[in-house]
Chains A and B, each alone.
Chain A
Amino acid sequence: DTEVTQTPKHLVMGMTNKKSLKCEQHMGHRAMYWYKQKAKKPPELMFVYSYEKLSINESVPSRFSPECPNSSLLNLHLHALQPEDSALYLCASSQDPQRSNTGELFFGEGSRLTVL
Chain B
Amino acid sequence: KQEVTQIPAALSVPEGENLVLNCSFTDSAIYNLQWFRQDPGKGLTSLLLIQSSQREQTSGRLNASLDKSSGRSTLYIAASQPGDSATYLCAVISGEWGGSEKLVFGKGTKLTVNP
**B42, chain A: closest CB distance, angstroms:** 6
User: Closest A-chain residue to B91, C-beta based?
Assistant: A105
Q: Say whether B105 contacts A43, CB under 8 Å.
A: yes
Q: Say whether B98 contacts A104, CB under 8 Å.
A: no
Please indicate the chain B residues that have their CB under 8 angstroms from the CB of A107 in the complex: 36, 43-46
Residues from 67 to 105 in A contacting B, C-beta threshold 8 Å: 88, 90, 92, 94, 96-97, 102-105
Q: Say whether B99 contacts A50, CB under 8 Å.
A: yes
Whether, in the assembled complex, A42 has its beta carbon less than 8 Å from a beta carbon of chain B, the answer is yes
Please indicate the chain B residues that have their CB under 8 angstroms from the CB of A94 in the complex: 97
Whether, in the assembled complex, B106 has its beta carbon less than 8 Å from a beta carbon of chain A, the answer is yes
Q: Say whether B43 contacts A104, CB under 8 Å.
A: no
Q: What are the interface flags for A21-60 relative to B under an 8 Å C-beta threshold, 1 for contact and 0 otherwise?
A: 0000000001100000000011101001011000110000
Q: Say whether B46 contacts A104, CB under 8 Å.
A: yes
Quick one: given A30-B98, A31-B98, A55-B98, are A103 and B93 in contact (CB under 8 Å)?
yes
Please indicate the chain A residues that have their CB under 8 angstroms from the CB of B107 in the complex: 41-42
User: Closest A-chain residue to B106, C-beta based?
Assistant: A42
**B47, chain A: closest CB distance, angstroms:** 11
**B97 contact from A31, A45, A90, A109, Cβ within 8 A:** A31
Q: Say whether B89 contacts A104, CB under 8 Å.
A: no
Q: Say whether B41 contacts A88, CB under 8 Å.
A: yes
Q: Say whether A56 contacts B41, CB under 8 Å.
A: no
**A106 contact from B42, B46, B99, B105, Cβ within 8 A:** B46
**B39, chain A: closest CB distance, angstroms:** 10
**A86, chain B: closest CB distance, angstroms:** 13
12 contacts between A and B (CB under 8 A): A41-B107, A42-B89, A42-B105, A45-B103, A51-B98, A97-B31, A103-B93, A104-B34, A105-B103, A106-B46, A108-B43, A110-B42
List 14 other contacts, CB 8 Å, given A92-B44, A96-B97. A42-B108, A43-B44, A50-B98, A55-B99, A56-B99, A56-B101, A90-B43, A94-B97, A103-B93, A104-B32, A104-B46, A105-B46, A107-B44, A107-B45
Shortest beta-carbon contacts, A-B, top 4: A50-B98, A42-B105, A107-B44, A109-B43
